[in-house]
A and B are shown apart, each in its own frame.
Chain A
C-alpha cells in the first residue's frame, strides 16, 4: 500500500489536492481536498443586498456570469421583479456565451493536453495529439484560444467585460442591444460555428447537437474518421477504454437552464436515476460539514439555514468544501446531467450502460457546446432592439430567496436571507461542491472520491495520468466550490 499526494493540480480552476491510497497498481481509496478558503459567505454578511452583484461574480473568474445570474435571480425573487423578454434573452445569451467558452476551454486547454504526455508516446494517435493539443504549441489549441477570445467579445458588448460584469441585474440587463450591435454579434456566433464545424466536429452543429443514438454517432465517426478533434478523442477514448474510467454515481442533478420569458427551459431540470426524471426536491438539499473545516453546527443543514464558520483545527476534516447531498445521496452534476435530464437519447443510452465516466462526460460537453452556439443564435434572433431590457427592482426589508443557475460544470444555487434591509445570510452551493465533495457523516465518499477508486496507477507514477483524466473529466472549479 502506498500513499500519494497529488498537487498542485493545474488545468482545473483553483486549488485542488488529491490524496490516494494505492495498492497493486490501483487506487484503493481517495480523498479530495479543496485547500483554499476565502470566506465569501462571511464577507457578504451585513452588506447591502445589491452589493452581492459586485461581490459574487468575483468568487470565480471562469463561472463569473453564472455566479452573477444566481445572485440576480435570488434578488429578483426577493424583490418580486420579473425581467422583460429582452432582459431574459440577453441574460441567456451571456450564459450561453460563458458556458460555451468554458466547454471550449475545457476541451482544448484543460483536458486534451494530457494525451500529449510522454506516457502515451507509443500510441498511434500520440503524434497527432501533440501536434494539435500541446499547451501553447498545439495548432488547434492555439486556434481555439484565438476563437475563444473572439467569442468572448460578445461579453464585451453585452456585459462591458468578462469576467466580472455587473450588467446582470435582478430586473434583467443594464445593457440593451441596438440593431447594428445585434448584427455584429451574429458575426461572432458565425465565427465560433465555423471553427467548431471545421476543427472540432467535422460536421454541422445541428447534427452534433441532436445525435439520437449510438448508430448515429458511429455513422458520423465512420463517415470521415480522420476529420475533426472530437473524432480523434473518440479514437483515443476507444484505445484507452475511457468508458471504464471514473464511474460516477447513480443519480445526476440539473436545476434546468435557459428558461424563456414564459419559463420554459431549453434544458430541463431534474434528477435522473436511470429509470425516470424526478423533480428536484429543494427542501432535501443539505450541506454536510462532518469532514470539512467549516464548523459543523447541528449536523447537515439546508442552505437556507446554512453555516460557514471556519475551524481549521477541526478533527477529521480534510477539505474546505462542505458535502452537498440531496436526501442524503451523492449526485453528479454538469453537462452530462443536463443532457440526461433533457432526455438526450444517445447520452441516456450510454449512461445506462456505463454511467458518468471520462468518455460520457466529455462527449456530453462536446454535444452541449454545439447546442449552446445554436441557443445563442436563437437568443440573438429573439432580442428586439428598442424593447425594454430591465425592470427596476425594489428591495424589501426582509426576504428569504433562492437563485438557481446552471454553470458549465453544473448546478449552482444561492440561498439569500435579507433582514433589516441587509444580507443576514448568504449560502452558496456550487457544482464542483457536489462533484468533489468529501465524505459525509455516514462516511459516504463524494462523486470524485468514488470515481477514482480502481483507477490504474502505473509503476513509478506520482501523479497518475488516469487520475488526471478522471479529475479533469468533471471540469472542476475549485474557487466556486469553497468560495
Chain B
C-alpha cells in the first residue's frame, strides 16, 4: 500500500480531550492500519505523536509556511476568547500565544477545517453557565453562525467548517468524515452537510432510530426513576425523538448508547445542548404534555396517539417499564397460521 498522503493535524483547544479518547475506541483491531487504509497521515496528535515542544511546533510551522500541505485541520475543544477578547484563558503551551490565534492562522492554510465535538463546533459544555471564558465554536456561537472564523469563512474548496458535533464524538463519525474528505474519487460537497454544518452521514438520523426501548415508547410506558426500563421521554428528559445522530444504530463501545445505558439522550449533537433551560434529568411539560414533541409530528396527533396507546399498554410492558430488569416475560405464542 502506498504511504498515506492526506495530512491531518489535530489540536486541542478548550475541551476535555474526550473526543480524542473516544477516537481511540474506534472499532478496529489495528487503529494505525485503519488510518493507513483511509489514506490518512496524522501529522501530529496530542495523544499519539512522539514530537514534543520544539518538534511539535516545527510541524505547525511547516504547515503555516507551506512546506507541508495541511489537508485537514482538526480542532477539538471550544475557542476560549476571554478574558476581554485576549484569548489568554488558553495560551498554547510553549508559545505564550493565544490558542485562538493559532487556530485562526492554521485555518487559513488548511484545505479543510473539521470541528471535532460540540465544543469546537458550537461552544458546547465549555460555553455553559455564564460562559466564564467567552467560549465559542469555530464557526458558530451556539446556534448562531459566526464564532471564531465568521459566518462567511469558507475553505479553498468552498466548504464551511465541518461540524462533527457530539459530546463526545463517536469515533466512526470522525473517521468516516475524514475518509470522505480524503476520498479523491468522490469529492465532499456542501450538500453533504446539514443546516448546522454537521455531516448528514450520521445526522440524517434521529437518536431514537434503533432505540432498544421502542416498545415502551410505542405505549408511552414510561420510566419514572433512574434504572427503570421504560421510555425515558415522558419524565426523564430524553430527547432521542428530536436529536440528530445515529447512536442507536451505530452503537458505542460495542453495544452501548445513552438509552441503553439507562439514561436520557441530552441531544449533545445540537448547538446549545449544554443549557437546555431545564434540569437534564427532567422532561419539561406544559399541562402534563412534554414540550419537546417528536420531530415532524403534529401535537394533536401526538396527544391523541399517546392517550390511545397508554390505554392499550399491555400489562407486561407497563410493569417492566418501572422495573430495573424484566419482571414479566412476553407470553409464549404460536405464530404460525392457525
Q: Which residues of A contact B (CB under 8 A)?
A: 5-11, 13-17, 33, 35-39, 42-48, 50-51, 53-55, 58-62, 64, 105, 109-110, 113-114, 116-117, 134-137, 142, 145-146, 148-149, 152-153, 155-167, 169, 171-176, 178, 310, 312, 385-386, 388-390, 392, 462-463, 468, 479
Contacts and interface: CB of A to CB of B under 8 A. Distances in A.
B28 interface: yes
Nearest to A10: B46
Contact of B324 (A10, A38, A390, A468): A390
B258 A161 contact: yes
A117 to B, nearest CB: 7
Contacts of B50: 113-114, 116-117, 134-135
B173 to A, nearest CB: 13
Contacts of A61: 15-22, 168
Contacts of B57: 8
Nearest to A110: B47
B167 A160 contact: no
Interface in B289-338: 324-326
A146 B51 CA distance: 23
Nearest to B326: A178
B121 to A, nearest CB: 14
Contacts of A45: 129-130
B190 interface: no
Contacts of B30: 142, 146
B225 A392 contact: yes
B227 A173 contact: yes
Contacts of A62: 17-18, 21
Q: Which of the four size classes fits the interface of chain B?
A: 35 or more
Given A8-B93, A161-B252, A166 B263 contact: yes
Interface in B34-87: 35, 42, 44-57, 80, 83, 86
Nearest to A175: B262
A171 B253 contact: no
A145 B32 CA distance: 9
Contacts of A11: 46-49, 52
B125 interface: yes
B253 A15 contact: no
A7 B99 CA distance: 13
Contact of B93 (A35, A109, A169): A35
Task: Across the A-B interface, give the 6 residue pairs with the lowest CB-CB distance, nearest first.
Answer: A160-B261, A61-B18, A7-B94, A156-B253, A7-B93, A156-B256
B18 A174 contact: no
Interface of B: 12, 14-22, 24-33, 35, 42, 44-57, 80, 83, 86, 88-96, 99, 125-126, 128-133, 135, 167-168, 225-227, 251-264, 266, 274, 279-281, 324-326
A44 B129 contact: yes
A159 B16 contact: no
Contacts of B86: 312
A38 B325 contact: no
A5 B266 CA distance: 41
A33 B257 contact: no
A385 B325 contact: yes
A10 B281 CA distance: 36
Contacts of B91: 17, 35-36
Given A47-B129, A153-B253, A167 B16 contact: no
21 contacts: A5-B96, A7-B53, A8-B94, A9-B52, A11-B46, A15-B12, A37-B80, A37-B89, A37-B90, A51-B280, A61-B20, A113-B50, A136-B42, A149-B25, A149-B27, A155-B253, A158-B261, A164-B18, A176-B324, A386-B325, A390-B324
Given A145-B24, A162-B22, 20 more contacts: A10-B51, A11-B47, A35-B92, A42-B130, A60-B17, A61-B19, A61-B20, A64-B21, A116-B50, A136-B31, A142-B30, A142-B32, A152-B25, A153-B256, A155-B253, A158-B261, A160-B263, A385-B325, A389-B324, A463-B53
A277 to B, nearest CB: 34
Nearest to B46: A10
Given A60-B17, A156-B256, A157-B254, A38 B167 contact: no
B16 A175 contact: no
A163 B256 contact: no
Nearest to B253: A156
Contacts of B83: 310, 312
A55 B279 CA distance: 11
B253 A389 contact: no
B167 A58 contact: yes
Contact of A38 (B14, B48, B281): B14
Given A59-B16, A60-B17, A163-B21, A39 B133 contact: yes
Given A42-B132, A389-B227, A15 B93 contact: yes
Contacts of A164: 18, 167-168
A386 B329 CA distance: 13
A153 B258 contact: no
Contacts of B18: 58, 60-62, 64, 163-164
Contacts of B125: 43, 55, 58
Contacts of B35: 136
A479 B253 contact: no
Nearest to A19: B94
Most buried by A among B135, B251, B262: B262
Contacts of B89: 36-39, 310, 312
A15 B47 CA distance: 11
Nearest to A170: B226
B280 A142 contact: no
B262 A173 contact: yes
Nearest to A133: B50
A53 B225 CA distance: 15
Contacts of B33: 142
Contacts of B45: 10
A388 B35 CA distance: 43
A172 B227 contact: yes
A244 B80 CA distance: 40
Contacts of A176: 227, 262, 324-325
A161 B250 CA distance: 12
A110 B258 CA distance: 29
A114 B50 CA distance: 7
Most buried by A among B31, B55, B227: B227
B208 to A, nearest CB: 15
Given A146-B28, A176-B227, A312-B89, A54 B266 contact: yes
Contacts of A153: 253-256
A178 B329 CA distance: 14
Contacts of A6: 52-53, 94
B41 to A, nearest CB: 10
B252 A136 contact: no
Contacts of A16: 93
A250 to B, nearest CB: 30
